[in-house]
Structure 1
Amino acid sequence: MPSEVTHHYFSAGWLRRLRRVREIKQGHFAQLLGVSQGTISKWETGEARPSSKQIERITQFFTNAPAPARDAWLSRLVKYSDRQVHVMTDADHRLLAASQPRIKEWHRDYIDVASLPLSESLPDDIAAAERWLVEHDHPTVWLTPLVVAVEGRKGGPYDIDPGLLLWERFPLSDGTWVRLITNIGEHEIPAESVQFRKNMPG
Protein backbone atom coordinates (compact mmCIF):
# COMPACT_ATOMS: atom_id res chain seq x y z
CA MET A 1 0.00 0.00 0.00
CA PRO A 2 1.46 3.44 -0.88
CA SER A 3 2.83 5.48 1.99
CA GLU A 4 0.48 8.33 1.01
CA VAL A 5 -2.41 6.12 2.14
CA THR A 6 -0.99 5.09 5.49
CA HIS A 7 -0.27 8.71 6.49
CA HIS A 8 -3.95 9.66 5.92
CA TYR A 9 -2.90 13.10 4.68
CA PHE A 10 -5.60 15.28 3.14
CA SER A 11 -6.01 18.81 1.84
CA ALA A 12 -8.93 20.37 -0.02
CA GLY A 13 -6.71 21.58 -2.86
CA TRP A 14 -5.14 18.14 -3.31
CA LEU A 15 -8.54 16.49 -3.79
CA ARG A 16 -9.82 19.23 -6.09
CA ARG A 17 -6.73 19.11 -8.34
CA LEU A 18 -6.67 15.31 -8.63
CA ARG A 19 -10.38 15.11 -9.39
CA ARG A 20 -10.08 17.74 -12.12
CA VAL A 21 -7.01 16.11 -13.67
CA ARG A 22 -8.95 12.84 -13.77
CA GLU A 23 -11.86 14.76 -15.32
CA ILE A 24 -14.34 13.34 -12.79
CA LYS A 25 -17.40 15.43 -11.96
CA GLN A 26 -18.25 15.98 -8.30
CA GLY A 27 -21.54 14.11 -8.60
CA HIS A 28 -19.95 11.03 -10.15
CA PHE A 29 -17.13 11.02 -7.62
CA ALA A 30 -19.68 11.27 -4.82
CA GLN A 31 -21.45 8.16 -6.17
CA LEU A 32 -18.15 6.26 -6.32
CA LEU A 33 -17.45 7.06 -2.67
CA GLY A 34 -21.02 6.63 -1.46
CA VAL A 35 -21.44 10.21 -0.22
CA SER A 36 -23.44 13.23 -1.39
CA GLN A 37 -22.18 15.78 -3.89
CA GLY A 38 -22.51 18.38 -1.15
CA THR A 39 -20.06 16.39 0.97
CA ILE A 40 -17.49 16.39 -1.85
CA SER A 41 -18.02 20.13 -2.27
CA LYS A 42 -17.38 20.72 1.44
CA TRP A 43 -14.22 18.59 1.33
CA GLU A 44 -12.91 20.60 -1.63
CA THR A 45 -13.62 23.98 -0.02
CA GLY A 46 -12.21 22.96 3.35
CA GLU A 47 -15.55 23.23 5.16
CA ALA A 48 -15.37 19.57 6.18
CA ARG A 49 -12.79 16.82 6.30
CA PRO A 50 -13.26 13.15 5.34
CA SER A 51 -12.57 10.42 7.86
CA SER A 52 -9.29 8.49 7.79
CA LYS A 53 -11.04 5.57 6.09
CA GLN A 54 -12.51 7.89 3.45
CA ILE A 55 -9.09 9.48 2.84
CA GLU A 56 -7.65 6.00 2.36
CA ARG A 57 -10.35 5.18 -0.21
CA ILE A 58 -9.80 8.49 -2.03
CA THR A 59 -6.04 7.97 -2.22
CA GLN A 60 -6.37 4.36 -3.37
CA PHE A 61 -8.82 5.45 -6.06
CA PHE A 62 -6.50 8.09 -7.50
CA THR A 63 -3.45 5.84 -7.23
CA ASN A 64 -4.98 2.72 -8.71
CA ALA A 65 -7.81 3.70 -11.07
CA PRO A 66 -6.63 3.38 -14.67
CA ALA A 67 -6.98 6.51 -16.77
CA PRO A 68 -4.68 6.39 -19.81
CA ALA A 69 -6.67 9.16 -21.48
CA ARG A 70 -5.92 11.37 -18.48
CA ASP A 71 -2.21 10.64 -18.88
CA ALA A 72 -2.32 11.78 -22.51
CA TRP A 73 -4.38 14.81 -21.54
CA LEU A 74 -1.78 15.90 -18.97
CA SER A 75 1.00 15.58 -21.56
CA ARG A 76 -0.98 17.64 -24.08
CA LEU A 77 -1.83 20.25 -21.46
CA VAL A 78 1.87 20.71 -20.70
CA LYS A 79 3.13 20.66 -24.32
CA TYR A 80 0.64 23.25 -25.55
CA SER A 81 0.69 25.51 -22.51
CA ASP A 82 1.75 29.13 -23.02
CA ARG A 83 3.44 29.04 -19.60
CA GLN A 84 6.83 27.81 -18.48
CA VAL A 85 5.88 24.32 -17.34
CA HIS A 86 7.18 20.77 -17.57
CA VAL A 87 6.33 17.38 -16.10
CA MET A 88 8.77 14.64 -15.09
CA THR A 89 8.74 11.41 -13.14
CA ASP A 90 9.16 12.12 -9.46
CA ALA A 91 11.45 9.19 -8.69
CA ASP A 92 14.17 9.72 -11.31
CA HIS A 93 13.32 13.15 -12.77
CA ARG A 94 12.87 11.79 -16.30
CA LEU A 95 11.33 14.45 -18.52
CA LEU A 96 7.89 13.51 -19.89
CA ALA A 97 6.75 16.76 -21.52
CA ALA A 98 7.65 20.45 -21.65
CA SER A 99 5.99 23.57 -23.03
CA GLN A 100 7.61 25.72 -25.70
CA PRO A 101 8.17 28.61 -23.21
CA ARG A 102 10.00 26.15 -20.92
CA ILE A 103 12.18 24.88 -23.77
CA LYS A 104 12.95 28.48 -24.72
CA GLU A 105 13.97 29.19 -21.11
CA TRP A 106 16.33 26.20 -21.09
CA HIS A 107 18.14 27.39 -24.26
CA ARG A 108 18.45 23.77 -25.34
CA ASP A 109 16.71 21.59 -27.89
CA TYR A 110 13.98 19.47 -26.29
CA ILE A 111 15.62 16.25 -27.43
CA ASP A 112 18.86 17.25 -25.68
CA VAL A 113 17.15 17.97 -22.36
CA ALA A 114 14.90 14.91 -22.62
CA SER A 115 17.97 12.70 -22.65
CA LEU A 116 19.35 14.24 -19.44
CA PRO A 117 18.41 13.29 -15.87
CA LEU A 118 17.04 16.68 -14.76
CA SER A 119 18.21 15.97 -11.21
CA GLU A 120 21.89 16.10 -12.21
CA SER A 121 23.83 19.35 -11.75
CA LEU A 122 21.03 21.07 -9.83
CA PRO A 123 21.68 24.62 -8.59
CA ASP A 124 22.06 24.98 -4.83
CA ASP A 125 18.56 26.33 -4.15
CA ILE A 126 16.75 23.52 -5.99
CA ALA A 127 19.08 20.89 -4.51
CA ALA A 128 18.30 22.30 -1.04
CA ALA A 129 14.55 21.98 -1.72
CA GLU A 130 15.03 18.34 -2.77
CA ARG A 131 16.95 17.60 0.45
CA TRP A 132 14.26 19.36 2.50
CA LEU A 133 11.59 17.11 0.98
CA VAL A 134 13.53 13.99 1.94
CA GLU A 135 14.12 15.28 5.47
CA HIS A 136 10.46 16.21 5.98
CA ASP A 137 8.76 12.96 5.02
CA HIS A 138 8.53 13.31 1.23
CA PRO A 139 5.26 11.38 0.58
CA THR A 140 3.20 13.32 3.11
CA VAL A 141 4.56 16.76 2.24
CA TRP A 142 4.09 16.12 -1.46
CA LEU A 143 0.32 15.92 -1.25
CA THR A 144 0.50 19.68 -0.67
CA PRO A 145 2.05 21.82 -3.45
CA LEU A 146 5.53 23.15 -2.75
CA VAL A 147 6.52 26.66 -3.83
CA VAL A 148 10.28 26.98 -4.33
CA ALA A 149 12.06 30.32 -4.66
CA VAL A 150 14.96 29.99 -7.14
CA GLU A 151 17.77 32.41 -7.94
CA GLY A 152 18.09 31.17 -11.50
CA ARG A 153 21.07 29.93 -13.47
CA LYS A 154 22.75 30.71 -16.76
CA GLY A 155 24.83 27.90 -18.20
CA GLY A 156 25.10 24.31 -17.04
CA PRO A 157 22.98 21.58 -18.64
CA TYR A 158 20.07 24.03 -19.02
CA ASP A 159 19.24 27.61 -18.00
CA ILE A 160 16.78 28.36 -15.21
CA ASP A 161 14.92 31.67 -14.84
CA PRO A 162 14.78 33.24 -11.37
CA GLY A 163 11.44 33.38 -9.58
CA LEU A 164 8.96 30.97 -8.01
CA LEU A 165 8.36 27.37 -9.04
CA LEU A 166 5.19 25.49 -8.11
CA TRP A 167 5.92 21.78 -7.61
CA GLU A 168 2.87 19.47 -7.65
CA ARG A 169 2.56 15.67 -7.69
CA PHE A 170 0.01 13.59 -9.57
CA PRO A 171 -0.30 9.81 -10.00
CA LEU A 172 -0.40 8.38 -13.52
CA SER A 173 -2.72 5.50 -14.32
CA ASP A 174 0.02 2.94 -13.62
CA GLY A 175 0.67 4.41 -10.15
CA THR A 176 3.80 6.32 -11.19
CA TRP A 177 4.01 9.68 -9.45
CA VAL A 178 4.97 12.63 -11.63
CA ARG A 179 5.97 16.16 -10.73
CA LEU A 180 4.43 19.13 -12.51
CA ILE A 181 6.66 22.21 -12.32
CA THR A 182 5.24 25.61 -13.24
CA ASN A 183 6.70 29.12 -12.99
CA ILE A 184 4.27 31.31 -11.04
CA GLY A 185 4.02 34.85 -9.71
CA GLU A 186 3.63 35.86 -6.07
CA HIS A 187 -0.11 36.41 -6.63
CA GLU A 188 -0.49 32.79 -7.82
CA ILE A 189 0.85 31.07 -4.70
CA PRO A 190 -1.85 28.56 -3.61
CA ALA A 191 -3.32 29.15 -0.18
CA GLU A 192 -2.72 25.48 0.59
CA SER A 193 0.99 25.19 -0.12
CA VAL A 194 4.36 24.89 1.56
CA GLN A 195 6.85 27.62 0.69
CA PHE A 196 10.56 26.83 0.53
CA ARG A 197 13.47 29.24 0.40
CA LYS A 198 17.04 28.00 0.57
CA ASN A 199 17.94 29.67 3.86
CA MET A 200 14.69 29.06 5.71
CA PRO A 201 14.95 27.30 9.09
CA GLY A 202 14.46 23.51 9.14
Structure 2
Amino acid sequence: MLYTGRALKRLRLVNGMKQSHVAELLQVTQATVSRWETDVLTPSEDQQRALQRLFARQTAVDAALKRLVETSTARVHLICDHSHRLLAASPSRRAEWRREMLGMPMFRYASEEIRKAESELAGIGWHEGRVASLVVETGPNGRDDVPIGAGRVLWEKIPFADGAMGRLVTTLA
Protein backbone atom coordinates (compact mmCIF):
# COMPACT_ATOMS: atom_id res chain seq x y z
CA MET A 1 0.00 0.00 0.00
CA LEU A 2 1.37 3.39 -0.97
CA TYR A 3 0.52 6.05 1.59
CA THR A 4 -0.21 9.52 0.29
CA GLY A 5 0.73 12.40 2.55
CA ARG A 6 -2.93 13.09 3.32
CA ALA A 7 -3.62 9.42 4.20
CA LEU A 8 -0.53 9.21 6.41
CA LYS A 9 -1.50 12.36 8.30
CA ARG A 10 -5.07 11.13 8.77
CA LEU A 11 -3.89 7.74 10.12
CA ARG A 12 -1.45 9.45 12.47
CA LEU A 13 -4.12 11.78 13.83
CA VAL A 14 -6.75 9.02 14.15
CA ASN A 15 -4.23 7.05 16.21
CA GLY A 16 -3.46 10.08 18.38
CA MET A 17 0.21 10.19 17.41
CA LYS A 18 2.51 13.15 16.96
CA GLN A 19 4.92 13.29 14.03
CA SER A 20 7.82 12.99 16.48
CA HIS A 21 6.41 9.75 17.88
CA VAL A 22 5.98 8.21 14.40
CA ALA A 23 9.53 9.34 13.61
CA GLU A 24 10.88 7.74 16.79
CA LEU A 25 9.13 4.43 16.07
CA LEU A 26 10.34 4.34 12.44
CA GLN A 27 13.81 5.65 13.32
CA VAL A 28 13.61 8.70 11.06
CA THR A 29 13.50 12.40 11.86
CA GLN A 30 10.34 14.35 12.56
CA ALA A 31 11.19 16.45 9.49
CA THR A 32 11.08 13.29 7.37
CA VAL A 33 7.57 12.45 8.60
CA SER A 34 6.52 16.04 7.89
CA ARG A 35 7.90 15.77 4.35
CA TRP A 36 6.03 12.49 3.83
CA GLU A 37 2.79 14.13 4.95
CA THR A 38 3.25 17.07 2.58
CA ASP A 39 4.27 14.75 -0.29
CA VAL A 40 7.69 16.40 -0.54
CA LEU A 41 9.22 12.94 0.08
CA THR A 42 7.83 9.47 -0.56
CA PRO A 43 8.60 6.72 1.98
CA SER A 44 10.77 3.90 0.62
CA GLU A 45 9.24 0.44 0.20
CA ASP A 46 10.69 -0.63 3.56
CA GLN A 47 9.33 2.51 5.20
CA GLN A 48 5.92 1.89 3.60
CA ARG A 49 5.87 -1.61 5.11
CA ALA A 50 6.92 -0.20 8.50
CA LEU A 51 4.13 2.39 8.30
CA GLN A 52 1.63 -0.32 7.42
CA ARG A 53 2.73 -2.41 10.42
CA LEU A 54 2.63 0.65 12.67
CA PHE A 55 -0.93 1.59 11.81
CA ALA A 56 -2.13 -2.02 11.77
CA ARG A 57 -1.19 -2.18 15.45
CA GLN A 58 -4.21 -0.16 16.50
CA THR A 59 -6.67 -3.00 17.01
CA ALA A 60 -10.18 -2.87 18.42
CA VAL A 61 -8.81 -3.91 21.83
CA ASP A 62 -6.26 -1.09 21.91
CA ALA A 63 -8.89 1.41 20.76
CA ALA A 64 -11.29 0.18 23.46
CA LEU A 65 -8.59 0.55 26.14
CA LYS A 66 -7.87 4.11 25.00
CA ARG A 67 -11.60 4.92 25.03
CA LEU A 68 -11.99 3.46 28.55
CA VAL A 69 -9.11 5.57 29.86
CA GLU A 70 -10.37 8.72 28.14
CA THR A 71 -13.86 8.32 29.63
CA SER A 72 -12.85 7.09 33.10
CA THR A 73 -13.95 9.03 36.16
CA ALA A 74 -10.75 7.93 37.94
CA ARG A 75 -7.54 9.95 37.88
CA VAL A 76 -5.78 7.72 35.37
CA HIS A 77 -3.49 7.89 32.35
CA LEU A 78 -1.89 5.42 29.96
CA ILE A 79 1.72 5.67 28.81
CA CYS A 80 4.06 3.63 26.65
CA ASP A 81 6.05 1.59 29.17
CA HIS A 82 9.24 2.07 27.15
CA SER A 83 9.20 5.73 26.07
CA HIS A 84 6.81 7.09 28.76
CA ARG A 85 4.86 8.91 26.04
CA LEU A 86 1.29 9.74 27.02
CA LEU A 87 -1.21 7.65 25.04
CA ALA A 88 -4.46 8.57 26.81
CA ALA A 89 -5.70 10.35 29.94
CA SER A 90 -8.97 10.62 31.80
CA PRO A 91 -10.76 13.99 31.95
CA SER A 92 -9.92 14.39 35.64
CA ARG A 93 -6.24 13.73 34.95
CA ARG A 94 -6.16 16.14 31.99
CA ALA A 95 -7.83 18.80 34.17
CA GLU A 96 -4.84 18.68 36.55
CA TRP A 97 -2.41 19.61 33.77
CA ARG A 98 -1.94 23.11 32.40
CA ARG A 99 -0.69 21.89 29.02
CA GLU A 100 -1.60 19.37 26.35
CA MET A 101 0.41 16.21 26.99
CA LEU A 102 -0.83 13.67 24.41
CA GLY A 103 2.16 12.07 22.71
CA MET A 104 4.60 13.80 25.05
CA PRO A 105 7.11 11.93 27.24
CA MET A 106 5.95 12.16 30.86
CA PHE A 107 9.13 11.16 32.69
CA ARG A 108 10.50 14.71 32.89
CA TYR A 109 7.61 15.51 35.28
CA ALA A 110 8.31 12.57 37.60
CA SER A 111 8.86 13.14 41.30
CA GLU A 112 12.04 11.94 42.97
CA GLU A 113 10.16 8.90 44.32
CA ILE A 114 8.80 7.99 40.89
CA ARG A 115 12.29 8.27 39.39
CA LYS A 116 13.63 5.97 42.10
CA ALA A 117 10.83 3.42 41.56
CA GLU A 118 11.47 3.52 37.80
CA SER A 119 15.18 2.84 38.34
CA GLU A 120 14.32 -0.24 40.41
CA LEU A 121 11.96 -1.87 37.87
CA ALA A 122 14.63 -4.01 36.22
CA GLY A 123 15.68 -5.42 39.58
CA ILE A 124 12.16 -6.62 40.42
CA GLY A 125 11.50 -8.24 37.04
CA TRP A 126 9.07 -5.64 35.66
CA HIS A 127 10.42 -5.84 32.11
CA GLU A 128 10.46 -9.64 32.13
CA GLY A 129 6.85 -9.82 33.24
CA ARG A 130 7.52 -11.21 36.72
CA VAL A 131 5.70 -8.18 38.18
CA ALA A 132 2.55 -6.84 36.51
CA SER A 133 1.52 -4.16 38.99
CA LEU A 134 3.17 -2.01 41.59
CA VAL A 135 2.04 0.62 44.11
CA VAL A 136 4.42 3.59 44.27
CA GLU A 137 4.48 6.11 47.10
CA THR A 138 5.26 9.54 45.71
CA GLY A 139 5.95 13.00 46.94
CA PRO A 140 5.17 16.19 45.04
CA ASN A 141 7.16 17.08 41.96
CA GLY A 142 6.98 20.83 42.66
CA ARG A 143 5.63 21.71 39.21
CA ASP A 144 2.62 23.86 38.38
CA ASP A 145 2.21 22.78 34.75
CA VAL A 146 2.00 19.01 35.31
CA PRO A 147 1.74 18.64 39.08
CA ILE A 148 2.14 15.42 41.04
CA GLY A 149 0.93 15.52 44.62
CA ALA A 150 2.05 13.39 47.53
CA GLY A 151 0.20 10.09 47.57
CA ARG A 152 0.13 6.64 46.01
CA VAL A 153 -0.15 5.56 42.40
CA LEU A 154 -0.81 2.13 40.97
CA TRP A 155 1.27 1.09 37.95
CA GLU A 156 -0.21 -1.74 35.87
CA LYS A 157 1.46 -3.27 32.80
CA ILE A 158 -0.86 -3.74 29.84
CA PRO A 159 0.17 -5.49 26.62
CA PHE A 160 -0.82 -3.91 23.31
CA ALA A 161 -1.75 -5.83 20.18
CA ASP A 162 1.70 -5.26 18.64
CA GLY A 163 3.52 -6.75 21.64
CA ALA A 164 4.54 -3.38 23.06
CA MET A 165 3.71 -2.70 26.68
CA GLY A 166 1.69 0.11 28.17
CA ARG A 167 1.50 1.29 31.75
CA LEU A 168 -1.80 2.31 33.28
CA VAL A 169 -1.14 4.86 36.05
CA THR A 170 -3.94 5.35 38.56
CA THR A 171 -3.89 7.73 41.51
CA LEU A 172 -5.12 5.88 44.60
CA ALA A 173 -7.33 7.62 47.16
TM band (smaller chain): 0.5 to 0.7
Deviation at 1:142, TM superposition (A): 5.7
Task: Find 2:71's aligned residue among 69, 80, 86.
Answer: 80
Counterparts of 1:44-123 in structure 2, within 5 Å, are 68-106=59-97, 108-110=98-100, 113-123=101-111
Encode CA deviations 1:100-133: one digit per residue, 9 max, x unaligned: 1111222x233xx225311124221000000111
Give the TM-score, by structure 2 length.
0.61
Q: Hey, what does 1:155 align to over in structure 2?
A: 143
Q: How many residues are paired up?
A: 117
Partner of 1:169, secondary structure, is: strand
Return structure 1 stretches of 4+ with deviation > 4 angstroms: none
Identity of aligned residues (%): 35
Q: Structure 1 residues 135, 179: closer, same or farther in 2, change over 3 A?
A: same
Q: Hey, what does 2:122 align to over in structure 1?
A: 134
Opposite residue 136 of structure 2, the aligned amino acid is V
Deviation at 1:156, TM superposition (A): 5.9
Aligned-residue RMSD, C-alpha = 2.1
Contact 2:125 2:131 in 1 (8 A): no
Q: Structure 1 residues 156, 127: closer, same or farther in 2, change over 3 A?
A: farther
Q: Structure 1 residues 136, 84: closer, same or farther in 2, change over 3 A?
A: same
For 2:127 and 2:114, how far apart are their aligned partners in 1? 18
Partner of 1:75, secondary structure, is: helix
Q: Hey, what does 1:176 align to over in structure 2?
A: 164
Give the TM-score, by structure 1 length.
0.53
Task: Find 1:125's aligned residue among 110, 113, 119.
Answer: 113
Q: Structure 1 residues 68, 141: closer, same or farther in 2, change over 3 A?
A: closer
Contact 1:121 1:156 in 2 (8 A): no
Contact 1:152 1:160 in 2 (8 A): yes
Q: Whose RCO is larger (CA < 8 A, sep 6+)?
A: 1
Structure 1: give runs of 5+ residues left out of the alignment: 1-65, 186-202
Structure 2: give runs of 5+ residues left out of the alignment: 1-56
Q: Structure 1 residues 159, 67: closer, same or farther in 2, change over 3 A?
A: closer
Deviation at 1:75, TM superposition (A): 0.3
Contact 1:142 1:168 in 2 (8 A): no
Partner of 1:114, secondary structure, is: coil
Opposite residue 141 of structure 2, the aligned amino acid is R
Point out the more displaced range, 79-88 or 144-153. 144-153
For 1:84 and 1:153, how far apart are their aligned partners in 2? 17
